[in-house]
């Protein structure tokens, strides 16, 4: 069967939706049954099976199947290493056979009815480096499955791993709750919750942007009884009429103000509110109930709930979205009826991420005015009123179906990448710092773009190349707006840090390819995974290190975990196909041996991809000089590598034995130290005879005092935060290379840091 008849892209999307809609009450096996049916349909495969690993017996147990004997479900067990399926889990790699019986590990299972199926593909499911299970597909056609199928099934396996983990977590919670007498009075105790550590949730983007803050929930009052509210008993029909009048004025004012920003959309939203308020079937019925003796507060709640229930049960999506309108209207009426009784009236939402099942349209404006950082909606749709308002008001909004978010404790730290539809719960310090920088970059990009020029020249006409540092694909917009001449450092670890499991090869490939496509031939330097130190992966089990900055980090981590490293290298090599602008560099190299080991592994990946028939290209391979050991070996490293990049931040840290994140010793972290100056000059001098390109990446490249020195020792390429490019361009335009060379020579002659600082003050005063 030809590839175009299969629909692997739709398969991955449908599985993604299936994961989001997982019904815990129906159970894990019901979900897995849907999953095998979905996979088999899209891959046009005759058979799909999912085996789960039983840690108690160390067996693989068949939990779901389509195409084989259904009686085998729950009964078929395989040991790790047994059959093609067991071998895939043992070796933690996909196994694809044109004819299954040709594989020496093939094992026929009597009674399974698999004798007519020839092609076989098995992909392991793993979570946090632990075995979870295996997903397999089979078909009667010889050589039916190809590399596209392998990559698709890898993505599916990654998604399934997360669901299976969540299901096991829920079972644990329910088992625990069953032993507690208070469960009946506290139904929320059995609700699924996030475990400790960082969690990454994928949702639907609704309004792009980045945000970070502490979680909070709003709008609970409609779900509670009137008794639970501090309902004032002395309210009258006159109070209700006054509340209606105030509400109408507020709605008209909201409509007017929003029309200035989003024109027709605002009038449609709040025009409907006003019409409903004047409708006798709504406000007239409330008034009738008040006249019959019902408290106005209770009458409003009852009627709002009645309309909300009626709209929510409608098969018409447009009517279902009216739930937001009627609840917004009820909120305003209650607030205007007796604001002091409404708990949480007028809170300040500055710096908070709002979590809610049903976000009300007017809440968007209120939250924007009160400084809310971002919004997470548990329900709704990308084209709902709230999405339209959020886009107009430039508030990041993600729509999610993961109801565990509703169980988050108040004030839980959250990162929101609304462009990618990603929610990060309890992020680590590195993720927070990077997101802070990213948010600042996005906020300033428009203003800075007008100042940037296409090319950078010194006063005497020497061309200088300014590249951008990149953390996420979504940051590309900033780099392009400020006219960066390429990406000098793509920190590939950030997509690892914000997730709750390792990204698959296919997911990494798609990300790297999108960067290369957007840069349209401009250079892109992908730095391989740099974790460890202050950049921990919450889902990777590591032993406590007394000195993590000197521990298992960066290239050491990758070489210690070759399967993780190979997935990343394979993804980069695949993305480099047809993209000669791609380059790969290895971080924190301490020796020539380490660089050669990394290069050998990249070449191994290239050979594997070639044997598998997967398009790829071996890009230039370079390294970052960040350690004193690498600086001493700069001549040998320059001869072996295709290019060098000086990582000045870490180089200064390790040269001076100063943790740059420690405020207690921050004063000792200085680029003006004579050892730093001489080391930088030594590295550049080592690279010049080889003719290999050399660049510098780090904060020192944005220092107006240090830029002449850097140019004076021979550096011509710098990589930095994209927002710094316009200002650096202006500084460079005032520098003459011959003068910079003289200044650098003078600075290199000093033996004391005080002399360097005094000299710099004289030439910049």
Alpha-carbon span 728 to 321, nearest angstrom: 50
Q: Are 425 and 194 in contact (CB under 8 A)?
A: yes
Q: Are 161 and 127 in contact (CB under 8 A)?
A: yes
Q: Record the tokens describing residue 259, joined without a space.
A: 């029309």
Name the maximum alpha-carbon separation found in the chain.
95
pLDDT at 724: 86
pLDDT at 629: 95
Alpha-carbon span 616 to 601, nearest angstrom: 15
E-only strand ranges, 574-729: 582-586, 620-625, 644-647, 694-697, 717-720
pLDDT in tens, 458-471: 999 999 999 999 87
How many residues in total does the chain contain?
765
pLDDT in tens, 73-131: 999 999 999 999 999 998 888 999 999 999 999 998 988 988 889 999 999 988 756 78
77-86 contacts, C-beta under 8 A, 24 or more apart: 78/51, 78/107, 80/53, 80/131, 81/105, 82/107, 83/107, 83/109, 84/120, 84/122, 84/136, 85/51, 85/60, 85/122, 85/134, 85/136, 86/60, 86/134
Domain boundaries defined on the chain? 3-178, 191-217+347-423, 230-342, 428-764
Predicted structure pTM score: 0.55
Contacts of 288 (CB under 8 A, 6+ apart): none
The residue annotated as part of the active site, out of 385, 616, 672, 673, is: 385
Best CATH choice for the domain 428-764 from the list 3.40.50.300, 3.30.365.10, 3.40.1160.10, 3.20.20.60: 3.20.20.60
Taking alpha carbons only, the member of 680, 623, 622 closest to residue 651 is: 680
- For 516-578, the DSSP string reads HHHHTTS-EEEEPP--BTTB--TTS-----SSGGGSS-HHHHHHH-HHHHHHHHHHHHHHTTT
For helices 237-262 and 322-338, angle between their N-to-C axes, nearest 10 degrees = 130
Q: How many CB atoms lie within 10 A of CB 167?
A: 18
For residue 645, pLDDT beyond 50? yes
- For 625-652, the DSSP string reads E-SHHHHHTHHHHHHHSS-EEEEHHHHH
The residues that bridge with 425 in the sheet, in sequence order, are 199, 414
pLDDT at 553: 74
- Annotation: CATH topology of 3-178: Beta-Lactamase (3.30.450)
pLDDT at 443: 61
The residue annotated as part of the active site, out of 96, 200, 605, 697, is: 697
pLDDT in tens, 622-633: 999 999 999 999
Mark whether 96 is an active-site residue: no
Tokens 């917009």 — which residue?
477
The percentage of residues in the chain with a pLDDT greater than 70, rounded to a whole number, is 74
pLDDT in tens, 283-310: 888 999 999 999 898 899 888 888 888 7
Taking alpha carbons only, the member of 606, 654, 656, 604 closest to residue 630 is: 654
Which of the listed ranges 14-23, 180-189, 488-497 does the model predict with the highest average pLDDT?
488-497
> What is the mean pLDDT of the segment spanning 310-328?
66
Instruction: Quote the radius of gyration of the chain (alpha carbons, Å).
Output: 30
Per-chain mean pLDDT for the chain? 80
Alpha-carbon span 561 to 502, nearest angstrom: 12
The CATH number of domain 191-217+347-423 is 3.50.50.60: no
Taking alpha carbons only, the member of 272, 263, 269 closest to residue 392 is: 263
CATH superfamily of this structure's domain 230-342? PtsI, HPr-binding domain (1.10.274.10)
pLDDT confidence band for 408 (50 / 70 / 90) = confident
Q: Is 403 exposed, middle or buried (0-12, 13-18, 19+ CB in 10 A)?
A: middle
For residue 683, pLDDT beyond 70? yes
DSSP state of 492: T
Alpha-carbon span 415 to 573, nearest angstrom: 30
pLDDT at 156: 83
Alpha-carbon span 61 to 82, nearest angstrom: 12
Q: In which region does residue 672 sit, left (phi positive, over 0), alpha (psi from -120 to 50) or beta (all else)?
A: alpha
Mark whether 42 is an active-site residue: no
């Amino acid at each position: 069967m030809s590839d175009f008849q299969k629909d692997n892209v739709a398969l991955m999307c449908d599985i993604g939706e299936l994961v989001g809609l997982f019904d815990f009450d129906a159970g894990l096996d019901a979900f897995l049954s849907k999953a095998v049916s979905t996979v088999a349909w899209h891959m046009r495969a005759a058979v799909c099976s999912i085996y789960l690993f039983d840690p108690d017996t160390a067996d693989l147990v068949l939990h779901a199947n389509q195409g084989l004997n259904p009686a085998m479900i729950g009964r078929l067990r395989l040991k790790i290493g047994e059959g093609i399926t067991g071998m895939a889990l043992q070796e933690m790699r996909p196994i694809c056979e044109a004819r299954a019986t040709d594989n020496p590990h093939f094992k026929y299972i009597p009674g399974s009815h698999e004798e007519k199926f020839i092609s076989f593909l098995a992909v392991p499911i793993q979570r946090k480096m632990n075995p979870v299970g295996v997903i397999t597909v089979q078909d009667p056609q010889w050589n039916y499955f190809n590399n596209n199928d392998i990559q698709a099934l890898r993505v599916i396996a990654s998604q399934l791993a997360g669901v299976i983990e969540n299901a096991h977590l829920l079972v644990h919670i329910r088992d625990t709750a069953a032993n507690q007498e208070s469960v009946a009075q506290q139904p929320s105790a059995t609700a699924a919750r996030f475990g400790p550590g960082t969690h990454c949730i994928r949702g639907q983007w609704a309004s792009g942007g980045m945000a970070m803050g502490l979680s909070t929930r709003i709008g609970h009052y409609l779900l509670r009884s009137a008794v639970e509210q501090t309902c004032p008993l002395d309210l009258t029909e006159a109070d209700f009429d006054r509340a209606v009048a105030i509400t109408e004025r507020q709605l008209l004012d909201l409509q007017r103000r929003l029309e200035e920003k989003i024109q027709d959309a605002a009038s449609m939203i709040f025009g409907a509110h006003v019409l409903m308020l004047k409708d006798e079937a709504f406000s007239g019925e409330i008034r009738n109930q008040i006249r019959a003796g019902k408290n106005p507060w209770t009458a409003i709640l009852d009627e709002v709930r009645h309309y909300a229930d009626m709209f929510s049960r409608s098969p018409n999506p447009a009517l279902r979205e009216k739930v937001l309108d009627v609840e917004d209207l009820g909120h305003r009426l209650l607030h205007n009826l007796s604001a002091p009784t409404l708990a949480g009236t007028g809170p300040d939402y500055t710096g908070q991420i709002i979590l809610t099942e049903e976000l009300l349209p007017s809440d968007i404006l209120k939250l924007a005015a009160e400084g809310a950082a971002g919004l997470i909606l548990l329900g709704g749709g990308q084209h709902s009123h709230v999405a339209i308002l959020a886009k107009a008001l430039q508030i990041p909004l993600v729509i999610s179906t993961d109801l565990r978010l509703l169980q988050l404790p108040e004030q839980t730290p959250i990162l929101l990448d609304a462009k990618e539809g990603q929610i990060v719960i309890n992020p680590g310090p590195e993720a927070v710092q990077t997101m802070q920088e990213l948010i600042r970059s996005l906020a300033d990009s428009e203003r800075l773009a007008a100042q940037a020029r296409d090319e950078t020249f010194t006063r005497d006409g020497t061309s200088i190349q300014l590249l951008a540092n990149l953390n996420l694909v979504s940051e590309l917009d900033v780099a392009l707006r400020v006219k960066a001449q390429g990406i000098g450092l793509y920190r590939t670890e950030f997509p690892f840090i914000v997730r709750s499991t390792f990204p698959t090869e296919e997911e990494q490939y798609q990300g790297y390819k999108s960067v290369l496509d957007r840069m349209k031939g401009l250079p892109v330097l992908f730095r391989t995974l740099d974790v460890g130190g202050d950049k921990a992966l919450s889902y990777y089990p590591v032993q406590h290190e007394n000195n993590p900055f000197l521990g298992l980090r960066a290239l050491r981590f990758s070489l210690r975990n070759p399967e993780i490293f190979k997935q990343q290298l394979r993804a980069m090599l695949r993305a480099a196909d047809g993209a000669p602008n791609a380059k790969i560099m290895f971080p924190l190299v301490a020796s020539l041996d380490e660089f050669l080991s990394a290069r050998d592994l990249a070449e191994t990946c290239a050979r594997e991809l070639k044997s598998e028939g997967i398009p790829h290209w071996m890009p230039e391979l370079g390294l970052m000089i960040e350690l004193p050991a690498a600086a001493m070996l700069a001549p040998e490293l320059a001869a072996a590598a295709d290019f060098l990049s000086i990582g000045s931040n870490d180089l200064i840290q390790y040269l001076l034995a100063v943790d740059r994140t420690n405020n207690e010793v921050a004063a000792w972290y200085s680029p003006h130290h004579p050892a730093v100056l001489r080391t930088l000059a030594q590295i550049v001098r080592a690279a010049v005879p080889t003719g290999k390109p050399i660049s510098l990446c780090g904060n020192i490249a944005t220092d107006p005092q240090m830029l002449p020195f850097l140019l004076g020792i021979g550096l011509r390429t710098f990589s930095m935060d994209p927002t710094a490019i316009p200002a650096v361009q202006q500084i460079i335009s005032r520098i003459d290379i011959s003068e910079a060379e003289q200044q650098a020579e003078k600075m290199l002659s000093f033996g004391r840091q005080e002399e360097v600082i005094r000299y710099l003050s004289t030439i910049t005063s």
